[in-house]
Amino acid sequence: MLIEKFPWWQRGIIYQIYPRSFQDSNGDGIGDLPGITARLDYLVSLGIDAIWISPIYPSPMRDFGYDVSDYCAIHPLFGTLADFDRLLHAAHARGLRVLLDLVPNHTSDEHPWFIESRSSRDNPKRDWYIWRDPAPDGGPPNNWLSHFGGSAWEFDAHTGQYYLHTFVKEQPDLNYRHPEVLPAILDVMRFWLARGVDGFRVDVITHLLKDAQLRDEPLDPNWDGIEPYYRLRHIYSRNVDGIHAIVRQMRATLDEYPDRVMVGETYLPNEELAKYYGEHLDECHLPFNFQLIRLPWDAQIVRRAVDAYAAALPPGAWGNWVLGNHDRHRVATRIGQAQARVANMLLLTLRGTPTTYQGEEIGMEDVPIPPEFVQDPPALNQPEIAPIVGRDPERTPMQWDASPNAGFTRAGVTPWLPIAPDYATRNVARQAQDPTSMLSLYRALTRLRRAEPALCIGDYRSVDVGAADIFAYERTAEGAARFLIALNFGARAHTLDLSRVARTARIEMATDMQRRGHVDLQHLEVAPNEGLVMRVD
């Protein structure tokens, strides 16, 4: 069995960089491209294979870069195209791939396309966006909601029509039913692919196409009453018939270049998610699988989800797992520090490409943001649910060391978001010195995954253990060492009988980074919050 026959994105680990918060190099309190370049050796030391950088394009920053006003340039805050090329070359020289964030669903309202589109009803770019007359009562054309609060329609007095915006009103949605829009985006892809980027994470790929008749969406009877956006079932504004033809064309464009990868942002149940691989595996290589973010942290629920996902993958498709991102509360906050170690062990021993969000290798936590410092639009627009929907807490600067401003920016500078209060004790420099730290665990896990074919590309099979707190599974590959992983999602100790797997095993790694040695699998003791990776004899 030759591990080399698996493409890099199947063998590899993806690490998400939120550039505003990774490393500031020029003392303006905002992270930038030279900052990332300066930290490449750290990224190599993590044992990851690719970085995905959230948007770095010119943007009025109404949605912190996800409102793009020029797809083929770099925001001066982040640097220049030359800085980008330097980063790309320096990354490649170290064997790291670079994925960019492609944001095709919407532009900024300051993008030249939209400026033209809104200038008059007969402008050639008018229908590049979704414009409609007011309803008879003068209100919005239908009942669609913005993800970030309120109606998804904004009235433009100049031309007397409404335009659609799934996110903030400064992010008008492009119209993929207009024949010129997709080709324009495909050209954007070519611009970066020709420059040497290794692929894209495609933002809200499931939203690109909207119902041709823009029908009202039905109420969701299961709505939990929290986020207004989920009051409706988004059956006409998302995952609409015809979307796959668009994704296929994006993939075909990507495939004009060798060895690139397309990752999709796909919050979907398995059956719909599977379709984003494409009927002939001709859509996303990796439609993101967000189950570890969304599910309650319960061993049996997670086990069932992992088994069901494995069963739902189309033949030949390669899975993936995501533990955190810039839109979701941090894993250490969701489940606590002890379980965050278990979660990293799970992420890095499952079958499928893992994605780590910056800072989660050191257990960074959400940082409470005082109301007067809140910047994120969904929190600003919906103050009553800001603590639930606000994303500033998981976007605070990377904690590099114990110096003022955590090594993120110079002392005396005010960073764009506050530094976590725990930075003096929870930081990269300190954890690098501590062989039992979360960072040491993370590095050891990536090292093991890279070294062991069973962990990297092997098969997965869950194992019955009869203890509700425990999730156990085997990873096997022909001709390679076999591994058994046992994860305790609970705070109680357990003695397990895993003798149906083998009689004995050797602990290769434990979440405490200390426990070692041979174990009798008939009486395997698992400590509270402990995860074990065992080499089966």
Answer for the pair 170, 59: CB distance below 8 angstroms, yes or no: no
Q: Is 217 in the site for Ca ion (CB under 5 A)?
A: no
Closer of 25 and 344 to Ca ion (Cβ): 25
Nearest distance, CB of residue 167 and ligand GLC, angstroms? 4
167 binds ligand GLC (CB under 6 A): yes
Nearer to Ca ion, 53 or 299 (CB): 53
Catalytic residue, from 203, 265, 360, 366: name it: 203
494, 488 in Cβ contact below 8 A? Answer: yes
Cα distance between residue 85 and residue 195, in whole Å: 8
Q: Do 17 and 51 meet the contact criterion of CB atoms below 8 Å apart?
A: yes
Answer for which of 9, 57, 66, 321 binds ligand GLC (CB under 6 A) is: 66
Tell me how far, at minimum, the Cβ of 443 lies from ligand GLC, in Å.
27
Query: How many chain residues interact with Ca ion (CB under 5 A)?
Result: 5
Shortest distance (Å) from residue 64 CB to ligand GLC: 7
- Binding-site member from 24, 32, 63, 361 for ligand GLC (CB under 6 A): 63
Decide if residue 83 touches Ca ion (CB under 5 A): no
Alpha-carbon torsion angle 23, 27, 33, 35, nearest 10: -40
Q: Residue 20 or residue 430: which is nearer to Ca ion going by CB?
A: 20
* Helix, strand, or coil (residue 15): strand
SS3 at position 195: helix
Comparing CB distances to Ca ion, the nearer of 153 and 416 is 416
Q: Which residue has the tokens 């500078």?
A: 413
- Nearest CA to 243 among 178, 171, 177, 166? 177
Q: Are 450 and 456 in contact (CB under 8 A)?
A: yes
DSSP state for residue 287 in the 8-state scheme: E
Collapsed DSSP state (helix, strand, coil) of residue 504: strand
Q: Which of 32, 154, 203, 217 binds ligand GLC (CB under 6 A)?
A: 203
Asked if residue 204 binds ligand GLC (CB under 6 A), the reply is yes
For residues 352 and 335, give the distance between their C-alpha atoms in angstroms, rounded to a whole number: 22
Q: Which residue is nearest to ligand GLC (CB)?
A: 66
Q: Which residues of 97-114 are buried (b: 16+ CB within 10 A; e: fewer)?
A: bbbbbbbbbbbbbbbebb
Quick one: what does residue 30 bind among ligand GLC, Ca ion, none, with the CB cut-off 5 to 8 Å set by partner type?
Answer: Ca ion
**Partner touching 203 among ligand GLC, Ca ion, none, CB below 5 to 8 Å by kind:** ligand GLC
Least distance from C-beta 166 to Ca ion, angstroms? 30
Residue placing its CB nearer to ligand GLC in the complex, 63 or 170: 63
CA 367/CA 372 separation, integer angstroms: 14
Q: What, of ligand GLC, Ca ion, none, does residue 127 touch, CB below 5 to 8 Å by kind?
A: none
Binding mask 22-61 for Ca ion (x = CB under 5 A): --x-x-x-x-x-----------------------------
When CB distances are held under 5 to 8 angstroms depending on the partner's kind, the choice from Ca ion, ligand GLC, none that residue 497 binds is none
Minimum CB distance to ligand GLC, residue 85 (Å): 25
To the nearest 10 degrees (0 to 180), the angle between helices 81-93 and 181-195 is 60
Q: Is 534 helix (H, G, I), strand (E, B) or coil?
A: strand
**Measured between alpha carbons, how far is 165 from 105 in angstroms, rounded to an integer?**
10
Give the orientation angle of helix 438-451 with respect to helix 337-347, to 10 degrees.
Answer: 10
Residues between 100 and 129 that touch ligand GLC (CB under 6 A)? 103
Q: Which does 24 bind (CB under 5 to 8 A by kind): ligand GLC, Ca ion, none?
A: Ca ion
As a whole number of angstroms, the distance between CA 268 and CA 218 comes to 18
Question: Is 477:459 a contact under the CB 8 Å cutoff?
Answer: yes
Q: How many residues bind ligand GLC (CB under 6 A)?
A: 9
Contacts of 234 (CB under 8 A, 6+ apart): 217
In 221-298, alpha helices (H): 243-254, 270-275, 291-294
Active-site residue 101, yes or no? no
Scan residues 280-319 and list those touching ligand GLC (CB under 6 A): none
What's the min distance (Å) between Cβ of 18 and ligand GLC?
Answer: 9
392 makes contact with ligand GLC (CB under 6 A) = no
Residue with tokens 């791939």: 97
* Integer Cα distance of 209 and 415 in angstroms: 38
CB closest to Ca ion, residue no: 32
Tell me whether residue 32 or residue 361 sits nearer to Ca ion (CB atom).
32
Active-site hit among 220, 255, 256, 520: 256
Instruction: Look up 508 and say whether it is catalytic.
Output: no
Evaluate whether 131 touches 163 at the Cβ level (below 8 Å). yes
Interaction with Ca ion in 498-517: which residues (CB under 5 A)? none
Q: Which is nearer to Ca ion, 24 or 83 (CB)?
A: 24
Q: Compute the distance between CA of residue 129 and CA of residue 488 in angstroms, rounded to an integer.
A: 50
Q: Please, what is the minimum distance in Å from the beta carbon of residue 188 to ligand GLC?
A: 15
User: Near Ca ion by CB under 5 A, which window of 19-27, 36-44, 305-313, 463-471?
Assistant: 19-27
Query: Nearest distance from residue 267's CB to ligand GLC, in Å?
Result: 8
- 3 state SS of 525: strand
Question: Residue 327 binds which entry of ligand GLC, Ca ion, none, with Cβ cut-offs from 5 to 8 Å by kind?
Answer: ligand GLC
Q: Which residues are registered as beta bridge partners of 355?
A: 14, 322
Please give the single-letter amino acid code of residue 164. L
In the complex, what is the shortest distance from the CB of residue 157 to ligand GLC, in angstroms, rounded to a whole number?
Answer: 25
Interaction partner, residue 66 (ligand GLC, Ca ion, none; CB < 5-8 Å by kind): ligand GLC
Distance of CA 489 to the CA centre of its chain: 23
Positions marked active-site: 203, 256
Contact residues toward ligand GLC (CB under 6 A) are 63, 66, 103, 167, 203-204, 265, 326-327
Contact residues toward Ca ion (CB under 5 A) are 24, 26, 28, 30, 32
